[in-house]
Amino acid sequence: MKGRTSAALGGLACAAVVLGVSHALAAALAPLSSPFLAVGAAAVDATPEPVKDFAVRTFGERDKLVLLAGMAVVIATLAAGIGIAARRRPAVGYWALALLGAVGCAAALGRPGSSPAWALPAVVGTLTGLGAFALLFRPEDSEDGTVRIGRRRLLGVFAGAGAAGLAGWAAGGATDVEKARRDVVLPEPASPAPQAEGIAREGLTPYLTPAEDFYRVDTALSVPRIDPDDYVLRIGGRVGRPLEYTYRQLLDMPLIERDVTLSCVSNEIGGTLAGNARWLGVRLSDLLDLARPEKGADQLVSRSADGWTCGTPAADCRDGRDAMLAVGMNGRPLPVEHGFPVRMIVPGHYGYVSATKWLTEIELSSFGDFDAYWTRRGWAERTDIKTASRIDTPRSKARQGAVAVAGVAWAQHRGISAVEVQVDDGPWNEADLAPVTSDDTWRQWVWEWRAEPGEHLLRVRATDGEGDLQEEEESEPFPSGATGLHTVRVTVAE
Ligand SMILES: Nc1nc2c(c(=O)[nH]1)N[C@H]1C(S)=C(S)[C@@H](COP(=O)(O)O)O[C@H]1N2
Ligand SMILES: [Mo]
């Protein structure tokens, strides 16, 4: 092995030790104290809005994987470079490793909800990495002023890093949230969801979205894993009586079950960041009535286990709508990615101002006193859901003759009263609407088209339950939700 190659590998081995050891310790202590994840999370929080938007659009829901992979490449390149530089000047290696460790430590301490103990993984990991470095880059092994790294030692250090990584993986698995979730038995709802039947058609989005197909949007690089046995929800702030509930206590309250469509403010016209599920949960107003919010506490601030924050108009949580703390989704406990064990659902609001996953705290506050995560980044403090409609089928090709044009339309809590389809510059044609049991879900629609051969533009628009037509003028999702009409170009074959 050439001297430079083995030096680069030596640098990599030391970085692997730092990451392996710190990650293993973090798995045992608090997963989010891992310096690797903490740096990633800090990067997510600091990313300017346009870049985040770009990342979400380009990489879709794989944006987090891309970020972590990118970080791994950067760290590996740095580590190899440090190794090569340290061949002649080992002091460079010590300083560079210590500096990287300090960055990881600062990132971990900077996470919301961190404690001083969160420095431990980075500190111990870095010290172990420095030890590995001392073992590999030994002045006494140098010839003509360059260090030669022994192959055995190199393999030994890599093996040590691997063992630490494995230990971390095992420690992570020790709190097996998936198993705890499978063991949960959900009670029957005191108030079941009215039975709704959607339409089933090739290419048309089903009325209820299966959990595995439900869109996922959050800032969590690693999904918070909460043991339901340790779960506590705190309700406080400007209330007459602060309250605490365990998971069991929430399950023992009367539960409601409702179909509610959830949608993301960053959904583009025609996009897929919306889903409809049957949620089971505790009425939020039942809990708030017990806590007695003070007058003027107009914002309900909710916090997640990983420190994300959300601000919902408090009045909308108590005005009779089916706002709830959900524990079930489509008849099963909430999936871990969708907020297990408890999340918020408030019909009529975008997810970023209402749908806190991994919910741990509710604080009554005011809009004047507190800005939530996305509000701080320029998104609207309060906004109604924009009426939206989407063509699911056809998307590009059709055969001449009878073609079912179909899709979904939503305007949660106002409902959908009409959907119309236009072909090219022709008249607007009224589509058939599937029956729905509340104004809080999307509505499937179908329109039978006599398709003529050639290229055609199909356009859709909806009218909400208050009689207002969907906004035609195009605008970006930022800062309060996209507007415009979904248009599809279809080639009709003879
Ligand atoms: N803890 C936490 N909850 C969160 C978010 C988040 O980043 N962290 N994102 C919100 C946003 S922007 C949306 S659109 C919904 C998406 O919920 P889903 O992933 O279950 O579809 O969750 C909301 N709840
Ligand atoms: Mo969102």
Q: Which tens digits make up the pLDDT trace of 255-308?
A: 999 999 999 999 999 999 999 999 999 999 999 999 999 999 999 999 999 999
304 assigned to some structural domain? yes
Q: Where are the beta strands (DSSP E) in 102-249?
A: 142-143, 146-147, 232-237, 243-246
Q: Which has more pLDDT, 55 or 353?
A: 353
Contact indicator for 4, 87 with CB cutoff of 8 Å = yes
Tell me which residue range forms the domain holding 59. 3-174
> With a 6 A CB cut-off, is 353 part of the ligand 1 pocket?
no
What gap in Å lies between CA 259 and CA 276, rounded to an integer? 7
> With a 6 A CB cut-off, is 245 part of the ligand 1 pocket?
no
From residue 90, alpha-carbon distances to 84, 143, 409 in Å are: 10, 14, 64
Residue 452 sits in the same domain as residue 415: yes
pLDDT single digits (tens) 121-131: 999 999 999 99
- Write down the residue that tokens 């729905």 correspond to: 436
Would you tell me how many other CB atoms lie within 10 Å of the CB of residue 299? 26
If one counts the domains in the chain, the total is 3
What value does the mean pLDDT take over residues 81-91?
A: 92
Residue 333 sits in the same domain as residue 411: no
Q: Whose CA is nearest to atom 7 of ligand 1?
A: 218
142 assigned to some structural domain? yes
Distance 327 CA to ligand 1 centre (A): 15
Q: Which residues pair with 312 in a beta bridge?
A: 300
> With a 6 A CB cut-off, is 83 part of the ligand 1 pocket?
no
What gap in Å lies between CA 359 and CA 235, rounded to an integer? 11
Ligand 1 site-directed mutation target among 61, 213, 217, 263, most atoms within 8 Å of CB:
217
What value does the mean pLDDT take over residues 421-434?
A: 98
> With a 6 A CB cut-off, is 358 part of the ligand 1 pocket?
yes
Residue 344 sits in the same domain as residue 415: no
Q: Which residues pair with 454 in a beta bridge?
A: 492
Residue 358 CA: which ligand is closest? 1
User: Where a domain ends, among 174, 193, 224?
Assistant: 174
pLDDT at 47: 81
Tell me the pLDDT of the chain averaged across its residues.
93
pLDDT at 61: 66
What gap in Å lies between CA 285 and CA 355, rounded to an integer? 15
Contact indicator for 112, 307 with CB cutoff of 8 Å = yes
pLDDT tops 80 at residue 330: yes
> With a 6 A CB cut-off, is 349 part of the ligand 1 pocket?
no
> With a 6 A CB cut-off, is 373 part of the ligand 1 pocket?
no
220 assigned to some structural domain? yes
CATH number at residue 367: 3.90.420.10
What gap in Å lies between CA 434 and CA 196, rounded to an integer? 9
pLDDT tops 70 at residue 454: yes
Share of the chain above pLDDT 90, in %: 81
Contacts for 383 with CB less than 8 Å, ≥ 6 apart: 265, 350, 353, 480, 481
CB-based burial label for 476 (10 Å; 0-12, 13-18, 19+):
middle
202 assigned to some structural domain? no
382 assigned to some structural domain? no
pLDDT at 277: 98
Residue 351 sits in the same domain as residue 223: yes
What gap in Å lies between CA 186 and CA 414, rounded to an integer? 30
Q: Is the pTM of this model over 0.75?
A: yes
204 assigned to some structural domain? no
Take residue 447 and report the two structure tokens written for it.
């329109």
What gap in Å lies between CA 460 and CA 262, rounded to an integer? 21
User: Where a domain ends, among 327, 354, 377?
Assistant: 377
116 assigned to some structural domain? yes
Q: Radius of gyration (Cα) for the chain, nearest Å?
A: 27
Residue 355 sits in the same domain as residue 393: no
- Report the amino acid identity of residue 109: L
What is the rounded (10 degree) CA torsion for 53, 59, 61, 67? -90
460 assigned to some structural domain? yes
Does residue 188 come out as left (phi exceeding 0), alpha (psi in the -120 to 50 range) or beta? Answer: beta
Query: Three-class SS of residue 162?
Result: helix
Ligand 1 site-directed mutation target among 352, 359, 383, most atoms within 8 Å of CB:
352
Residue 25 sits in the same domain as residue 135: yes
> With a 6 A CB cut-off, is 359 part of the ligand 1 pocket?
no
Residue 226 sits in the same domain as residue 358: yes
Residue 368 sits in the same domain as residue 234: yes
Residue 336 sits in the same domain as residue 394: no
What value does the mean pLDDT take over residues 381-391?
A: 96
